[in-house]
C-alpha cells in the first residue's frame, strides 16, 4: 500500500477504542505482551479487531491494494495462473485466494479468464478468510463465481487436487516479533504501560531466548522475525509439493531488508502511530523474503524471485492489455486506466515497493513472469 507520512497519536488515542481499553486491562492483569500478540489482537480480535469490524479497503477507506488500484492487476494474475494450468496439462485444480479482501482480485481474474478453454470448468474456488465482514463483501462481489467455499485456514481446503494459490498483501498483516540489541544482548520489544498508564513499547528487561538465532549487530539495532509468515509459506509449499500446483505471493518488502522497525499503522491513507485507536487502524510490516524462500524451497518446490511487481507485470503484457482497454474507453475511463497502470508499475509507486514470489510445485520451467535465472535454491535464512 502507498500512504502519506505518519502523524503523531493524540494523548488518549491508545484508549480511544474498545480494544485499546481491553489491552490496558489485559496488561494490568497479566503483564506486557509481545508485538506479535498485539498485532494479532489489533487485526483479528473477534469483536474489536480491524478485520472483524472495519476492514476499510479501497479509495474511500484506509488503504488501496493493487486490485483496487486497477483491474489490470487481477486480469494479469489470472493470465499467469491460467498459463501455468495449461502448461501442467489442464487437469482439475483448486483456485485458492488467501486474504481476498473485497473480492476485487478474484472478480477481475475470473472475468479475464472466461475465454480460456476449460479453465473455469476445471476449477473449484476456495477463499481463506477469517473475517465475517469481509466474507459478506466477497459473497456480494463474487456472485458470478459458482460454488465458492470459505475456510478459516488453508489446512481446511481439500487436499485431492493441485492448487493455484494467490496471496496478495496477505503476509504483511501476519504478526511479527521485534527484538532490539542492547548492551547485554538481544531483548524482545513488548507492549506495556508507561508511568501514566498509557500503552507504550519498551524492551523486555530480560535477554531473549531467541538471541541464538540472531546475528551480531550494533547496539540499538531492531530486527523483525515472523514465525507466522514462515509457517504460512511452508504450509503452502508442502501442499504444492504433495499435490502439485503454483502459488503467487505478492507483498511489499525486500529479500534482505536493513535492520529497523517496519511496523506501521494506516488510517484514511495516512500513516499514524501504531498505538492509535487499536483495532480501528490497519497494521502491517514489510515482508522479509529470504526466510520465506528458504522454508518454501526446503519443502520441495522450486521458488522463483522475488522480482519487482512492475517487472513481473511488464513481462505478463500489461502494456499490451492497457492498449486493448484504451481502444474502447471514454476519456475519463482512459485517464483512470493510465493512472492505475502507473500506480502498479512505476518504481516510485508499487512497481518496486512490491515484490512477487512464485512457489512452483509443477516444475514445468519458469512460470509466466519469471526467467530461469530467477529460480532459487534454498538459502540460509537470516531471522
As a whole-number percent, the residues of the chain with pLDDT over 90 amount to 78
Please say if the pLDDT value at position 226 is more than 70: yes
- Long-range CB contact pairs, 363-369, < 8 A, 24+: 363/301, 363/302, 364/84, 364/87, 364/88, 365/87, 366/304, 367/80, 367/83, 367/84, 367/246, 367/304, 368/79, 368/80, 368/83, 368/84, 368/315, 368/316, 369/80, 369/307, 369/312, 369/313, 369/315, 369/316
Report d(CA 245, CA 97) in Å as an integer: 13
**Are 369 and 307 contacting, i.e. CB atoms less than 8 angstroms apart?**
yes
How close are the terminal C-alpha atoms of the chain, in Å?
24
pLDDT tens column, 250-307: 999 999 878 899 999 988 768 889 998 898 888 999 999 999 999 999 999 999 999 9
Question: What does the DSSP 8-state code read for residue 154?
Answer: G
pLDDT value for 62: 56
At residue 307, the 3 state secondary structure works out as strand
Q: Residue 318: which H helix or E strand, with range?
A: helix 318-327
**Are 281 and 265 contacting, i.e. CB atoms less than 8 angstroms apart?**
yes
Third-level CATH fold of 4-373 = Rossmann fold (3.40.50)
**Are 186 and 208 contacting, i.e. CB atoms less than 8 angstroms apart?**
yes
Cell of 216: 551480531
pLDDT value for 37: 97
Instruction: Grade residue 313 by pLDDT with cuts at 50, 70 and 90.
Output: very high
pLDDT tens column, 56-102: 655 455 567 899 999 999 999 999 999 999 999 999 999 999 999 99
Nearest to 300 by CA among 363, 380, 249: 363
Report d(CA 373, CA 364) in Å as an integer: 14
For 143, half-sphere exposure in the C-beta direction (CA atoms, 13 angstrom radius) is: 3
Question: What does the DSSP 8-state code read for residue 10?
Answer: P
Amino acid at each position: 500500500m502507498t500512504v502519506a507520512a505518519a502523524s503523531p497519536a493524540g494523548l488518549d488515542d491508545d484508549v480511544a477504542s474498545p480494544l485499546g481499553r481491553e489491552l490496558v486491562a489485559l496488561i494490568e492483569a497479566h503483564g506486557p505482551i509481545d508485538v506479535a500478540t498485539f498485532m494479532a489482537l489489533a487485526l483479528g480480535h473477534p469483536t474489536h479487531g480491524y478485520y472483524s469490524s472495519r476492514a476499510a479497503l479501497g479509495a474511500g477507506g484506509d488503504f488501496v491494494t493493487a486490485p483496487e488500484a486497477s483491474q489490470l492487476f487481477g486480469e494479469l494474475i489470472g493470465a499467469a495462473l491460467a498459463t501455468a494450468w495449461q502448461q501442467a496439462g489442464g487437469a482439475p485444480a483448486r483456485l485458492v485466494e488467501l486474504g481476498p479482501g473485497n473480492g476485487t482480485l478474484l472478480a477481475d481474474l475470473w472475468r479475464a479468464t472466461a475465454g480460456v478453454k476449460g479453465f473455469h470448468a476445471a476449477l473449484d474456488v476456495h477463499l481463506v478468510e477469517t473475517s465475517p465482514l469481509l466474507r459478506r463483501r466477497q459473497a456480494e462481489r463474487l456472485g458470478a463465481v459458482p460454488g465458492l467455499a470459505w475456510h478459516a485456514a488453508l489446512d481446511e481446503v481439500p487436499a485431492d487436487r493441485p492448487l493455484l494459490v494467490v496471496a496478495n498483501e496477505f503476509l504483511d498483516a501476519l504478526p511479527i516479533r521485534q527484538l532490539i540489541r542492547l548492551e547485554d544482548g538481544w531483548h524482545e520489544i513488548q507492549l506495556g504501560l508507561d508511568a501514566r498508564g498509557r500503552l507504550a513499547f519498551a524492551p523486555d528487561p530480560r535477554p531473549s531466548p531467541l538471541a541464538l538465532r540472531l546475528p551480531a549487530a550494533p547496539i540499538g539495532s531492531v530486527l523483525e522475525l515472523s514465525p507466522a509468515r514462515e509457517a504460512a509459506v511452508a504450509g503452502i509449499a508442502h501442499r504444492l509439493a504433495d499435490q502439485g500446483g503454483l502459488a503467487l505471493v505478492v507483498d511489499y518488502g525486500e529479500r534482505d531488508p536493513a535492520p529497523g522497525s517496519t511496523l506501521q499503522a494506516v488510517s484514511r491513507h495516512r500513516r499514524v502511530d501504531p498505538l492509535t485507536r487499536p483495532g480501528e487502524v490497519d497494521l502491517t510490516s514489510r515482508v522479509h523474503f529470504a526466510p520465506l524462500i528458504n522454508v518454501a524451497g526446503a519443502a520441495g518446490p522450486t521458488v522463483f524471485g522475488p522480482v519487482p511487481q512492475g517487472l513481473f507485470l511488464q513481462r505478463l503484457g500489461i502494456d499490451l492489455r492497457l492498449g486493448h482497454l484504451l481502444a474502447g474507453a471514454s476519456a475519463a475511463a482512459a485517464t483512470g486506466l493510465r493512472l492505475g497502470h502507473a500506480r502498479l508499475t512505476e518504481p516510485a509507486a508499487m512497481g518496486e515497493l512490491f515484490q512477487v514470489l512464485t512457489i512452483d510445485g509443477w516444475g514445468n520451467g519458469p512460470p509466466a513472469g519469471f526467467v530461469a535465472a530467477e529460480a532459487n535454491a534454498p538459502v540460509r535464512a537470516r531471522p
